[in-house]
Amino acid sequence: LSWGLFSFADVLVWTNDQVIHWIQSIGLREYANNLVESGVHGALLALDENFDHNSLALVLQIPTQNTQARQVLEREFNNLLALGTDRRLDDGDDKTFRRTPSWRKRFRPRDVHSINMLSGSAETLPAGFRVTS
């Protein structure tokens, strides 16, 4: 699935310039230049579950009263995520995207001993780390 110079499969590695071209291609050319040097790139779109179409609309400086442009952005942003990223639409009412579980790192809870090691008291430091006078 691709158009022009880009492939939806490559969203993760899109540069800021490629995101700008995508914005132009979905009919929001008048707002696209607001992304120049904004730091918005493909990895942000593909991986940051807190970055949604409203976040992008804010960076693009699309006025809240321009509901048509915002609807286009929402539809195309959601299509882009569905076709070109591992982010998925939750079944909840809020219709927000979340990363798939494979992206989530799982950590074992720390045991009491390792938490005590973080306190920094001399009693918890290994003998080799103590300063002797």
Query: What tokens were used for 19?
Result: 């995101």
Cβ atoms within 10 Å of 5's Cβ, excluding its own: 7
Residue 63 and residue 65: Cα distance in Å, rounded? 5
Residue 123 and residue 130: Cα distance in Å, rounded? 9
Pairing status of strand 87-89 against strand 97-99: antiparallel
Residue type, 85: T
What are the chain's domains? Answer: 2-103 (1.10.150.50)
Is the predicted pLDDT of residue 10 greater than 90, yes or no?
Answer: no
Taking only the tens place, the pLDDT of each residue in 24-83 is: 999 999 999 999 999 999 999 999 999 999 999 999 999 999 999 999 999 999 999 888
